[in-house]
Amino acid sequence: MVFKLFPKQDRNLDDDPSMPAKSEDDGIVAEIKSAILSKIILVAGKDVKHANIYDWYIAAALTLRDRIVYQWLQSDRSAQSNGDKRVYYLSLEFLIGRLLTDALTNMSLVEPFRTAIEDLGIDFDELRDVEPDAALGNGGLGRLAACFMESMATLAIPAQGYGIRYEHGLFRQIVSNGWQEEFPEQWLLSGNPWEFERSDVIFDIQYGGRLDRIEQPGKPTHTLWIPDETIQAVAYDTPIVGWRGRHVNALRLWSARAVDPMRLDTFNSGDHLGAMSEMARAEAISKFLYPSDETPAGRELRLRQEYFFVSASLQDILDRHLHTDGDLRSLPSHAAIQLNDTHPSLAVPELMRLLVDKYQIDWDEAWDITTRTISYTNHTLLPEALETWPVELFGRMLPRHLDIIYRINVDHLAAAERHSGADSRFSASVSLIDETGGRRVRMGHLAFIGSHRINGVSAMHSELMRETVFADLNSMYPGRITNKTNGITFRRWLHQCNPKLASLLQDACGAAVLDEPERLRMLERLSDDRAFQQRFQAVKRDNKAALAQVIASRLGIIVDPSALFDVQIKRIHEYKRQLLNAIEAVALYQAILANPDGNWTPRIKIFAGKAAASYRQAKLIIKFINDIGEMINNDPAIRGLLKIVFLPNYNVSAAEIIVPASDLSEQISTAGMEASGTGNMKFALNGAITVGTLDGANIEILEHVGEDNIFIFGMNADEVVRRRATGLEATDVIGSSPMLAGVIEAIERGVFSPDDVSRFAPIAHALRFLDHYMVSADFEDYYRTQRAVDTKWHSPEWTRSSILNVARMAWFSSDRTIREYAEDIWNIP
Q: Which residue is catalytic, options 238, 601, 678, 693?
A: 678
What does DSSP assign to residue 380?
-
Order of strands, edge to edge, in the sheet holding 388-390?
Answer: 388-390, 440-442, 433-434
Assess contact for 356 and 395: CB atoms under 8 A. Answer: no
535 given a catalytic annotation: no
CA distances from 219 to 137, 215, 400, 741 (A): 47, 7, 20, 74
Using CA atoms, how far apart are residues 304 and 298, in angstroms rounded to an integer?
A: 10
Nearest residue to 258 (alpha-carbon basis) of 228, 275, 280, 236? 280
Helix (H) / strand (E) element for 194: namely none
Using CA atoms, how far apart are residues 518 and 482, in angstroms rounded to an integer?
A: 25
Q: Which residue is catalytic, options 321, 495, 682, 808?
A: 682
What does DSSP assign to residue 813?
B
Using CA atoms, how far apart are residues 366 and 747, in angstroms rounded to an integer?
A: 60
682 given a catalytic annotation: yes
Residue 183, Cβ neighbours under 10 Å: how many?
A: 11
576 given a catalytic annotation: yes
Give the SS3 label for residue 217: coil
Helix (H) / strand (E) element for 451: namely none
Assess contact for 249 and 152: CB atoms under 8 A. Answer: yes
Order of strands, edge to edge, in the sheet holding 664-667?
Answer: 642-647, 603-608, 564-569, 664-667, 689-692, 711-712
Using CA atoms, how far apart are residues 190 and 59, in angstroms rounded to an integer?
A: 13
Using CA atoms, how far apart are residues 564 and 356, in angstroms rounded to an integer?
A: 61
Q: Which residue is catalytic, options 143, 252, 571, 800?
A: 571
Residue 446, Cβ neighbours under 10 Å: how many?
A: 25
573 given a catalytic annotation: no
Cβ within 8 Å of residue 587, ≥6 positions away: 739, 740, 742, 743, 779, 783
CA distances from 436 to 420, 430, 433, 439, 449 (A): 21, 13, 9, 7, 21
379 given a catalytic annotation: yes
Give the SS3 label for residue 714: coil
Using CA atoms, how far apart are residues 128 and 56, in angstroms rounded to an integer?
A: 10
Using CA atoms, how far apart are residues 285 and 230, in angstroms rounded to an integer?
A: 13
Residue type, 17: P
Radius of gyration of the chain (CA): 28
Assess contact for 549 and 125: CB atoms under 8 A. Answer: no
Q: Which residue is catalytic, options 128, 401, 452, 576?
A: 576
Nearest residue to 400 (alpha-carbon basis) of 356, 361, 369, 345? 356
Helix (H) / strand (E) element for 483: namely strand 481-483
* Dihedral class, residue 401 (left if φ above 0, else alpha if ψ from -120 to 50, else beta): alpha
Assess contact for 779 and 740: CB atoms under 8 A. Answer: yes
Residue 479, Cβ neighbours under 10 Å: how many?
A: 7
Percentages (nearest 5) of helix, strand, coil residues in the chain:
55, 15, 30
3-state secondary structure 60-114: HHHHHHHHHHHHHHHHHHHHHHHCCCEEEEECCCCCCCCCHHHHHHHCCCHHHHH
Give the SS3 label for residue 822: helix
- The strand pair at 374-377 and 335-340 is best described as parallel
Helix (H) / strand (E) element for 617: namely helix 616-633
Q: Which residues pair with 120 in a beta bridge?
A: none
Q: Which residue is catalytic, options 412, 491, 570, 643?
A: 570
46 given a catalytic annotation: no
Give the SS3 label for residue 150: helix
Q: Which residue is catalytic, options 114, 379, 400, 495?
A: 379
Active site residues: 379, 570-571, 576, 678, 682
